[in-house]
Amino acid sequence: MRNAFLLLLLLAIVFSCKKYPKKDVPTGYEQPVKTSKVNKGAVKKPKNIILMIGDGMGLTQITAGMYINGNKLNLEEFKSIGLHKSYSSSDLITDSAAGATAFACGVKTYNGAIGVDADTMPVKTILEEAEERGLATGLVATSSIVHATPASFIAHAKQRKMYEDIALDFLDTEIDFFVGGGKKYFDQREDERDLLAELRSNGYQVSTYFDKDFRTVKPTTAKNFAYLTANGEPLPQRQGRSYLIPAIEKAPKFLKKRSDKGFFLMIEGSQIDWGGHANDSEYIITEMIEFDKAIGEVLKFAKADGETLVIVTADHETGGYAINPGSTMDKIEPGFTSDYHTGVMIPVFAYGPGAEYFRGIYENTAIYEKMRAVFGFEPMSN
C-alpha cells in the first residue's frame, strides 16, 4: 500500500515535470542555447525592426557626444554590440550611398549607387520586400528624404544626385510614413509633375513645413503620411531644426497600427556626417546628442512593445575625428585627419528580440542578411 502510494507520487512528479518543463524558468530569462551549432529554432523573431543610422557616426562621434552629454547616452542600454566593415565595391572608403545600399539590399556596390548593384542593376530593398509581405514601412531623416541614405531603401538610381528620379520612386511603393526635407524635388521639378499632389491622390496625408509645427500635426490612421520638412536640406539641430523627436514619437505607433504583420522603419541622424565634413566638433556633438535622444524615444517604444528589434549603426566614420589631449568631459579638443569619410570599422548596437545575432565582426552587407533572417524572410545562414 505504502509502496503503491510512493509509486503514484513518483508518477505524478514525472508527469508534472513532463507537462511543465519550463515552469521554473523565470520569464524574461534567456534560455541557454546549446553550444556547437547556432540554434536556428531558438531565434526570437521580432515583429518590427527599427534601423537607426547615424551617418558618419564613428566611435569618436559617439564618445564625444557621451562626455558632453554628462558622460551618459541612451546607447549604453544596448548589450549586443558588434562591428561592421564598411568598404564598398569601388573603394575602401565608402560613401553614404554604397553604405546604405549594403544595409538595404545586401550588396557591396560602388560609391554613389542607390539601390543598385556594382553592375547598376536594381536590387530589391528590405523596405520594398517588407512592403510586399504586408508589413508597414517608414523612413525618417534629418536630411532631404531623397538624400543617399534614405533613398537607398526605396529608390534605384545609378547616381545619388538624381534627386528628381529618386523622388519618383516614392510613388512606386506604398511606404506608409516618411519624414524629411527635399520638398522641391517633389513639386518644383523639371518635368513639371507635382508629386505631392500625386501622393495626395494616392491616399497620402501630405504635410509640409508651411503647415503648423509638426508636434501639432496628427497623422490619421486612414491614410499614409508624408511630411516634407524643408524645401531643400533641413537646418542643423543647433540652428533650430526640431522635427526629429516629434517624428519618432509618432512613427512607430503609427506603423504599428497600419499592419498587424509588423513594420520596418529606418531613422537617420543625417547631419552627424555633415559636422564631420565641416571638421566642426560642435556640429558633430549637437547632432550626436539629438540622435541619442531619438534612440531614447525608440527604446521607450521598444521596451513597451516587446516585439521590436532596434539596431543602431553608421554607414562610415567622417572626418577621422579624434579626442585629443587637453580634452575634458566638458570640452573636447578635436582633431581631424580628413574632410571626407574614413575606413575604420563601425559599431553596431542591437536591442530586443534577435539582438544577439548582431554580435561579432562582419561585413556591412551582413546587417541586411541578419535583418531578413530574424524577420523570418529566410533561414539563418550561419
Catalytic residue positions, numbered? 96
Of how many residues is the chain composed?
A: 382
Residue placing its CB nearer to Zn ion in the complex, 164 or 273: 273
Which of 147-155, 163-171, 227-235, 338-346 is the region at the interface with Mg ion (rule: CB under 5 A)? 147-155
Which of 55-63, 160-168, 252-260, 359-367 is the region at the interface with Mg ion (rule: CB under 5 A)? 55-63
Residue placing its CB nearer to Zn ion in the complex, 57 or 107: 57
Which of 146-154, 188-196, 202-210, 305-313 is the region at the interface with Mg ion (rule: CB under 5 A)? 146-154
Q: Which of Zn ion, Mg ion, none does residue 164 bind (CB under 5 to 8 Å by kind)?
A: none
Quick one: residue 115, left, alpha or beta (phi over 0 = left, psi -120 to 50 = alpha)? Answer: left
Please give the backbone phi and psi of residue 84, each rounded to the nearest 5 degrees, phi first: -120, 155
- 268, 141 in Cβ contact below 8 A? yes
Element holding 373 (H helix, E strand): helix 365-375
Spatial separation of the C-alpha atoms in residues 374 and 360, rounded to whole Å: 16
The least CB distance from residue 211 to Zn ion, in Å, is 30
Residue placing its CB nearer to Mg ion in the complex, 96 or 286: 96
Residue placing its CB nearer to Mg ion in the complex, 55 or 169: 55
Residue placing its CB nearer to Mg ion in the complex, 269 or 354: 269
Q: Which of Zn ion, Mg ion, none does residue 149 bind (CB under 5 to 8 Å by kind)?
A: Mg ion
Q: Among residues 137, 207, 229, 270, which is the contact residue for Mg ion, using CB under 5 A?
A: 270
Please give the backbone phi and psi of residue 318, each rounded to the nearest 5 degrees, phi first: -130, 130
CB-based burial of residue 57 (10 Å sphere; 0-12 exposed, 13-18 middle, 19+ buried)?
A: buried
Q: How many CA atoms lie within 13 A of 15 on its CB side?
A: 6
Element holding 268 (H helix, E strand): strand 263-269
Q: Among residues 86, 101, 111, 149, which is the contact residue for Mg ion, using CB under 5 A?
A: 149
State the binding string over 245-274 for Zn ion (x if CB under 5 A, else -): ----------------------------x-
Q: Does residue 109 belong to the site contacting Mg ion (CB under 5 A)?
A: no
* Helix-helix angle 59-68:281-305, to 10 degrees: 90
Q: Does residue 55 belong to the site contacting Mg ion (CB under 5 A)?
A: yes
CA 251 to each of CA 300, 334, 344: distance values in angstroms, whole numbers, following the listed order: 13, 35, 32
Binding interface with Mg ion (CB under 5 A): 55, 96, 149, 270
Binding interface with Zn ion (CB under 5 A): 273
